[in-house]
Amino acid sequence: MRLIVSLMLLLCVPLLMQGPAFAADKDVKPEIKKVPIRPSPVGDGKVMFRQYCAACHGVDAKGTGPAAPALKMAVADLTGLAKRAGGKFPDLRVQSILKQTVDVPVHGSQEMPTWGPLFRSLDRANESAVQLRIYNLTKYLESVQEK
Protein backbone atom coordinates (compact mmCIF):
# COMPACT_ATOMS: atom_id res chain seq x y z
CA MET A 1 0.00 0.00 0.00
CA ARG A 2 1.29 3.46 -0.78
CA LEU A 3 2.45 5.71 2.00
CA ILE A 4 0.03 8.21 3.34
CA VAL A 5 0.35 11.19 1.03
CA SER A 6 -1.88 13.63 2.74
CA LEU A 7 -1.89 15.11 6.18
CA MET A 8 -4.62 16.72 8.13
CA LEU A 9 -4.38 20.43 8.35
CA LEU A 10 -6.98 22.93 9.18
CA LEU A 11 -7.53 25.97 7.06
CA CYS A 12 -7.52 28.54 9.82
CA VAL A 13 -9.51 31.22 8.06
CA PRO A 14 -12.73 29.16 7.70
CA LEU A 15 -12.41 27.99 11.29
CA LEU A 16 -11.88 31.48 12.63
CA MET A 17 -14.82 32.74 10.62
CA GLN A 18 -17.01 30.09 12.25
CA GLY A 19 -15.77 30.93 15.77
CA PRO A 20 -18.97 32.65 16.97
CA ALA A 21 -21.04 29.69 15.78
CA PHE A 22 -18.96 27.36 17.95
CA ALA A 23 -19.57 29.50 20.99
CA ALA A 24 -23.33 29.23 20.44
CA ASP A 25 -23.33 25.44 19.86
CA LYS A 26 -20.57 23.58 21.68
CA ASP A 27 -21.60 20.25 20.11
CA VAL A 28 -20.56 21.45 16.66
CA LYS A 29 -16.95 20.56 15.89
CA PRO A 30 -14.92 22.32 13.23
CA GLU A 31 -14.20 20.36 10.12
CA ILE A 32 -10.63 19.40 9.35
CA LYS A 33 -9.70 19.57 5.71
CA LYS A 34 -7.12 17.12 4.40
CA VAL A 35 -4.55 18.68 2.12
CA PRO A 36 -1.45 17.20 0.45
CA ILE A 37 1.80 17.49 2.37
CA ARG A 38 4.09 20.18 1.01
CA PRO A 39 7.86 20.24 1.31
CA SER A 40 9.44 22.58 3.82
CA PRO A 41 13.08 23.48 4.45
CA VAL A 42 14.82 20.36 5.76
CA GLY A 43 17.09 22.35 8.05
CA ASP A 44 14.52 24.50 9.85
CA GLY A 45 12.67 22.78 12.69
CA LYS A 46 10.64 25.86 13.55
CA VAL A 47 9.33 26.24 10.00
CA MET A 48 8.50 22.51 9.87
CA PHE A 49 6.70 22.71 13.21
CA ARG A 50 4.60 25.64 12.06
CA GLN A 51 3.81 23.97 8.75
CA TYR A 52 3.15 20.43 9.95
CA CYS A 53 2.27 20.59 13.67
CA ALA A 54 0.85 23.98 14.63
CA ALA A 55 -2.64 23.34 13.25
CA CYS A 56 -3.19 20.93 16.15
CA HIS A 57 -0.46 21.73 18.68
CA GLY A 58 -0.59 25.51 18.22
CA VAL A 59 2.21 27.86 17.25
CA ASP A 60 3.21 27.86 20.93
CA ALA A 61 3.19 24.00 21.02
CA LYS A 62 0.79 23.99 23.98
CA GLY A 63 -1.92 21.91 22.27
CA THR A 64 -4.21 24.80 21.46
CA GLY A 65 -4.04 24.92 17.68
CA PRO A 66 -7.13 25.84 15.67
CA ALA A 67 -7.76 22.18 14.76
CA ALA A 68 -7.59 20.93 18.38
CA PRO A 69 -11.33 21.33 19.08
CA ALA A 70 -12.15 19.07 16.12
CA LEU A 71 -10.19 16.12 17.50
CA LYS A 72 -11.56 13.35 19.68
CA MET A 73 -8.61 13.34 22.09
CA ALA A 74 -6.91 16.29 23.72
CA VAL A 75 -3.85 17.50 21.85
CA ALA A 76 -0.59 17.16 23.77
CA ASP A 77 1.18 20.19 25.20
CA LEU A 78 4.62 19.62 23.69
CA THR A 79 6.27 22.26 25.88
CA GLY A 80 6.11 19.95 28.89
CA LEU A 81 7.81 16.88 27.45
CA ALA A 82 11.00 17.36 29.48
CA LYS A 83 9.07 18.09 32.66
CA ARG A 84 6.97 14.93 32.22
CA ALA A 85 10.17 12.94 31.63
CA GLY A 86 11.76 13.94 34.91
CA GLY A 87 13.50 17.08 33.65
CA LYS A 88 15.36 15.61 30.66
CA PHE A 89 14.03 16.11 27.15
CA PRO A 90 13.19 12.65 25.75
CA ASP A 91 14.78 13.19 22.34
CA LEU A 92 15.02 9.50 21.42
CA ARG A 93 11.36 8.95 22.30
CA VAL A 94 10.29 12.00 20.30
CA GLN A 95 12.30 10.81 17.30
CA SER A 96 10.81 7.32 17.66
CA ILE A 97 7.30 8.78 17.70
CA LEU A 98 8.01 10.85 14.61
CA LYS A 99 9.56 7.85 12.85
CA GLN A 100 6.62 5.66 13.86
CA THR A 101 8.82 3.10 15.62
CA VAL A 102 6.86 3.22 18.90
CA ASP A 103 3.14 2.87 19.43
CA VAL A 104 1.41 6.02 20.58
CA PRO A 105 -2.41 5.84 20.60
CA VAL A 106 -3.15 9.13 18.78
CA HIS A 107 0.01 9.26 16.73
CA GLY A 108 -0.67 7.48 13.50
CA SER A 109 -4.41 7.32 13.92
CA GLN A 110 -6.71 8.95 11.46
CA GLU A 111 -6.40 12.11 13.52
CA MET A 112 -2.63 12.32 13.99
CA PRO A 113 -0.40 11.78 10.99
CA THR A 114 2.84 9.87 11.42
CA TRP A 115 5.60 12.03 10.11
CA GLY A 116 8.20 9.42 9.20
CA PRO A 117 6.14 7.98 6.31
CA LEU A 118 4.99 11.45 5.28
CA PHE A 119 8.55 12.78 5.23
CA ARG A 120 9.59 9.73 3.22
CA SER A 121 6.90 10.59 0.67
CA LEU A 122 8.64 13.98 0.25
CA ASP A 123 12.16 12.54 -0.02
CA ARG A 124 11.68 9.04 -1.45
CA ALA A 125 15.28 8.70 -2.65
CA ASN A 126 16.94 10.54 0.23
CA GLU A 127 16.66 8.83 3.61
CA SER A 128 19.22 11.23 5.09
CA ALA A 129 16.84 14.14 4.36
CA VAL A 130 14.06 12.26 6.15
CA GLN A 131 16.30 11.71 9.18
CA LEU A 132 17.41 15.35 9.12
CA ARG A 133 13.78 16.52 9.12
CA ILE A 134 13.03 14.34 12.15
CA TYR A 135 16.21 15.44 13.94
CA ASN A 136 15.59 19.16 13.34
CA LEU A 137 11.95 18.93 14.36
CA THR A 138 13.03 17.13 17.55
CA LYS A 139 15.64 19.81 18.29
CA TYR A 140 13.04 22.52 17.80
CA LEU A 141 10.72 20.79 20.27
CA GLU A 142 13.60 20.60 22.73
CA SER A 143 14.07 24.36 22.36
CA VAL A 144 10.46 25.15 23.37
CA GLN A 145 10.46 23.22 26.64
CA GLU A 146 9.19 25.02 29.72
CA LYS A 147 11.98 25.81 32.16
According to the model, what pLDDT value does residue 107 have? 52
Distance CA 53, CA 112 (A): 10
Please report, to the nearest 10 degrees, the dihedral formed by the alpha carbons of residues 62, 66, 70, 76 taken in order.
-10
> Mean pLDDT, to the nearest integer, of 20-32?
56
Domain that holds residue 92: 6-143
Residue 55 lies in a domain: yes
- What is this structure's pTM? 0.71
Residue 115 lies in a domain: yes
Among residues of the chain, what percentage have pLDDT more than 70?
A: 70
8 A C-beta contact, residue 98 and residue 108: no
Residue 60 lies in a domain: yes
According to the model, what pLDDT value does residue 45 have? 95
**What letter does residue 107 receive in the DSSP assignment?**
B
**Mean predicted lDDT score pLDDT of the chain:** 76
> Mean pLDDT, to the nearest integer, of 70-92?
93
According to the model, what pLDDT value does residue 102 have? 61
Q: Is the dihedral of CA 53, 26, 11, 72 positive or negative?
A: positive
Tell me which amino acid residue 22 is.
Answer: F
Answer with the residue of higher pLDDT: 20 or 54. 54
- Encode 13-22: b = buried (16+ Cβ within 10 Å), e = exposed: eebeeeeeee
Total tally of structural domains belonging to the chain: 1
35-76 per-position pLDDT tens digit: 778 888 888 999 999 998 998 899 999 999 998 888 888 889
How far is CA 102 from each of CA 13, 33, 51, 54, 122, rounded to the nearest angstrom? 34, 27, 23, 22, 22
According to the model, what pLDDT value does residue 27 have? 62
Domain of 128, CATH number, reads 1.10.760
pLDDT at 140 over 80: yes
Q: Is 44 exposed, middle or buried (0-12, 13-18, 19+ CB in 10 A)?
A: middle
Residue 85 lies in a domain: yes
pLDDT at 7 over 50: no
Residue 130 lies in a domain: yes
According to the model, what pLDDT value does residue 49 have? 94
